[in-house]
Amino acid sequence: MKDTDAISKRAMGTVDPVFAPSALKISEQLLGHLDFDALTKSLSGLEGKVGDNPKTAAIILAGGQGERFGREGGKQLVEIAGKPVLTWSAEAFDAVADIGLIVVVCPEDRQAEYLSHAIDPFPFVTPVVLAPAGSIRQESALSGLEFVPEDFEFVVLHDGARPLISPDLIEHTINTLKGNFDSDGAVVAHPSIDTLKVVENDVIVGTPDRTVFWNAQTPQVFRAGIYRRAHAAALSDGFVGTDDSSLIERLGGKVLVVEGKRDNIKLTVPEDYLMLAAAVHSILREDAK
């Protein structure tokens, strides 16, 4: 058995990564066995670009404290192949020509740290500005939106802790919305593959058809005008949504779905780091063919 397989099986079989953050240490050992030179070439060989008249601004949400991740400093600055997770996410947007501005939303007291570790050392072409995070995700999104000038027609939201997002998928999602004039947004999602149960008081009361259920991811792109109105309405009504799309849905807006990939992983707990390692390993195998 290869060393990486042994490490992976030990981590999965003996460690509860939610309650035992030492799983992160094991996953770093696993990542250490990967060919990071090849990884950097295959995943981060991105060229920043800005078109002549970009219409879209990107808001990257990096405001979480990462309590569930079990590591001091949170998950946004954890490195993969020598670069923070946040940098991987931001670089994907930097490589999309229609993105004319990147707004990184992060804790106000850590802005200098985020700049010095995740932004300044890397050759971004797209302008990058920082906005202060709020106490909840919705407040952070609104804070980022306030840094977006009125002349941008579209705004795209992305979780900074989803480092494997690709420029192609970002561009495809934006173009899907642009090509549907009667739509207000487009959300990357993946069809549910698990059987779902409806539970009341610890008793199963139904098994819905899972073919109508999708797992929402990011990026999520919206027409800037309706997105601003949706935030204003939510603030006025005291509504808190579980994602950005829900703010528009409640107003009767039409939001399209764009099928994404299951490896568009969001780092939340240490076990996600292991899944990220597996996704990276898969990409390396595909590149080697």
27 domain residue, yes or no: no
279 domain residue, yes or no: yes
2 domain residue, yes or no: no
3 domain residue, yes or no: no
* 274-289 pLDDT, tens digit each: 777 666 666 656 655 6
**Among candidates 177, 174, 141, 176, which has minimal Cα distance to 160?**
141
Distance separating the N- and C-terminal Cα atoms of the chain? 22
Q: What's the confidence (pLDDT) of residue 269?
A: 73
176 domain residue, yes or no: yes
Distance separating alpha carbons of residues 183 and 126, to the nearest angstrom: 27
264 domain residue, yes or no: yes
Q: What's the confidence (pLDDT) of residue 10?
A: 35
Q: What's the confidence (pLDDT) of residue 24?
A: 43
What CATH number corresponds to the domain at position 100?
3.90.550.10
Distance separating alpha carbons of residues 212 and 93, to the nearest angstrom: 30
Q: What's the confidence (pLDDT) of residue 266?
A: 86
Q: Which amino acid is at 191?
A: P
Structural domain boundaries enclosing 273: 50-288
Q: What's the confidence (pLDDT) of residue 45?
A: 59
Q: What's the confidence (pLDDT) of residue 195?
A: 94
**Structural domain count, the chain:** 1
Q: What's the confidence (pLDDT) of residue 179?
A: 96
* 249-269 pLDDT, tens digit each: 999 999 999 999 877 888 877
Query: What residues form DSSP beta bridges with 106?
Result: 132
pTM over 0.75: yes
25 domain residue, yes or no: no
Full DSSP string of 265-282: ----SHHHHHHHHHHHHH
Give, for all 289 residues of the chain, the pLDDT tens digit: 444 443 333 333 333 333 334 444 444 454 444 444 444 444 555 788 888 899 999 999 998 665 544 455 567 888 776 788 899 899 999 999 999 999 999 999 999 999 999 999 999 999 999 999 999 999 999 999 999 999 999 999 999 989 889 999 999 999 999 999 999 999 999 999 899 999 999 999 999 999 999 999 999 999 999 999 999 999 999 999 999 999 999 999 999 999 998 778 888 777 777 777 666 666 656 655 6
135 domain residue, yes or no: yes
Q: How would you classify the pairing of strands 255-259 and 185-191?
A: parallel
CA trace torsion 123, 124, 125, 127 (10° rounding): -140
Q: Estimate to the nearest angstrom the gap between the alpha carbon of 244 and the chain centroid.
A: 13
